[in-house]
Amino acid sequence: MFKKKLVSILAVSSIIMLTACGTGGAGDKAASGSASTASAPQGKIVIKYWTANGGKIEEAKQNLVKKFNESQNKIEVQQANQGNYDDLHAKVQAAFAAGNAPAVFDLEIASTGIFSRSGMLVDLTPLAARDEAQVNIKDFNPGLMGNAYVDGKLYGIPFMRSTPIFYKNVTMLKDAGLDPAGPKNWKELEEYSRVLKAKGKTPMTMAVGVWEYEALVAQSGGKVLSEDGKKATFNTAEGVAPVEFWKKMSDDGLIKFVVGKTAGADADKDWTNQISAFKIGSTAGVSASLEVAKGNNFVMATDFMPANKSYGVPTGGCQLAITSKLKDAEKEATWEFVKFMTSKENTIYQHKYVGYLPNRLSALQSDELQNYYKEFPQYKVASDQLQYAVLRPNANAYAEVSKTIIDAMTKAILEKDVKPQDAMNEAAEKANKLLSK
């Protein structure tokens, strides 16, 4: 019964995961349900590592795995990409039930609660305490640690972590006579958008996403769920305000909302083709977006998400989690790999290669990155924005709740006669039933 319930929850989680993780690409194609079966040299401990997402994200992981395997002769990591986070999580759950789970995998942070409470993950608290001198948990940015803990225990080590950030086509803004330093808040975003529309441009194209919604709720002073995760609070004034804002912007032709399975890709196409001047996207897309800007001959900048009452942003991306039921030697080998992947050196590497946050404070403060930011300030915005970071809900049913929220927002934004408050009230009733299970 539990297995069926978990599969059901994970099956709808792509709406959260695809928004809150990173970017897709050719490497996004799912691998088969099992990791590589290539035999390792005799005497090595073999561990399976399952990954999510593609493109430069997957390339960075492959490069790091190769570096680890070449750095020692006792452990061999066999990596297999499993598609997006939803695909990966469902496959891990199925493999765990079959007794063939990977030793380590990319765990999207909003799913830490359900995986840990189901007994599928190793409690890393004692390992981190034992190896504190090497791991140095306090070196990880505090803004990224909230979703690593569930019920006071550590279940994940921050790996490729992100926040949504605001991307701007500086060239388009200057051509429209706008100061590229803005917009800084919702009011200025509307003002900028009206100027751009008058110039025949689409100010912004975006999908209706729960990750972005979480940011706007935080900016409005609210929370999506109650502190204990047992009640929906997104139908309060603070939770409805973002939907009202988006509906107004949509009705006035200032935000083009796209729907369907290709919504994210469609929004990126408008950005790439300079149809839209703004986009909201993961910091994981900084490197790729800089390449797009260079290739299309425009200047790109990044900024904080425009504020309402204050700034506010959820974090996202993944942490490395170790599955339970491993033999002691396998667990220790996997832990060595996790420590390697999340070291200061490798944190700097993946940050520069992709754009994901430099999770460690020592990495952020290093001369290497500080000098890098002088040339590419677009990479630093997400780290600066972490001072306004909020936790993502960790309730077991949040994947299903998120689908309910997205359905309600889509209806309210795109259907003229639907009032945001009514749509969110109805969604809250459905959400409370899910949360009470």
81 beta partners: 51
Query: Tell me: the pLDDT tens digits for 130-182?
Result: 999 999 999 999 989 989 999 999 999 999 999 999 999 999 999 999 999 99
Per the prediction, the chain carries an average pLDDT of 91
Contact predicate 401/232, CB 8 Å: yes
Query: Tell me: the pLDDT tens digits for 307-334?
Result: 999 999 999 999 999 999 999 999 999 9
Fold agreement (2-162+315-384, 164-314+397-435): yes
With b for 16 or more beta-carbon neighbours within 10 A and e for fewer, the 166-177 pattern comes to bbbbbbbbeebe
Contact predicate 217/238, CB 8 Å: yes
Q: Give the 3-state secondary structure of residue 50.
A: strand
Distance CA 386, CA 421 (A): 30
Instruction: Identify the helix (H) or strand (E) that includes residue 332.
Output: helix 328-341
Closest CA to 317 of 115, 1, 8, 20: 20
Contact predicate 166/280, CB 8 Å: yes
> If you ran DSSP here, which 8-state letter would residue 37 be given?
-
Does the pLDDT value for residue 18 go beyond 80? no
| The CATH number of domain 2-162+315-384, selected from 3.40.47.10, 3.40.190.10, 3.40.50.1820, 3.40.50.1220 | 3.40.190.10
Taking the domains of the chain in order of start, what are their residue ranges? Answer: 2-162+315-384, 164-314+397-435
Does the pLDDT value for residue 17 go beyond 90? no
Task: Give one DSSP letter per residue of 391-435, joined into a string.
Answer: PPP--TTHHHHHHHHHHHHHHHHH-TT--HHHHHHHHHHHHHHHH
In the structure, what pLDDT confidence band is assigned to residue 63 with cuts at 50, 70 and 90?
A: very high
| The CATH number of domain 164-314+397-435, selected from 3.40.50.1580, 3.30.450.70, 3.40.190.10, 3.40.47.10 | 3.40.190.10
Reading the block at residue 235, the tokens are: 């139908």
Q: What is the mean pLDDT of residues 276-283?
A: 96
In a 10 Å sphere around its CB, with 0-12 CB exposed, 13-18 middle and 19+ buried, how is residue 61 labelled? buried
Does the pLDDT value for residue 11 go beyond 90? no
Q: Give the 3-state secondary structure of residue 274.
A: coil
Q: What is the pLDDT of residue 41?
A: 62
Q: What is the pLDDT of residue 4?
A: 43
Closest CA to 298 of 282, 277, 280: 277
Give the amino acid at 386.
L
> If you ran DSSP here, which 8-state letter would residue 342 be given?
T
Query: Tell me: the pLDDT tens digits for 175-220?
Result: 999 999 999 999 999 999 999 999 999 999 999 999 999 999 999 9
Q: What is the pLDDT of residue 39?
A: 52
Reading the block at residue 76, the tokens are: 């061999």
In the structure, what pLDDT confidence band is assigned to residue 40 with cuts at 50, 70 and 90?
A: low
Query: Tell me: the pLDDT tens digits for 218-258?
Result: 999 999 999 999 999 999 999 999 999 999 999 999 999 99
Does the pLDDT value for residue 20 go beyond 60? no
Pairing mode of beta strands 157-162, 276-282:
unpaired
Query: Tell me: the pLDDT tens digits for 260-275?
Result: 889 989 999 999 999 9
Q: Higher model confidence: residue 1 or residue 377?
A: 377
Percent of the chain past pLDDT 70, that is, above it, reads: 90
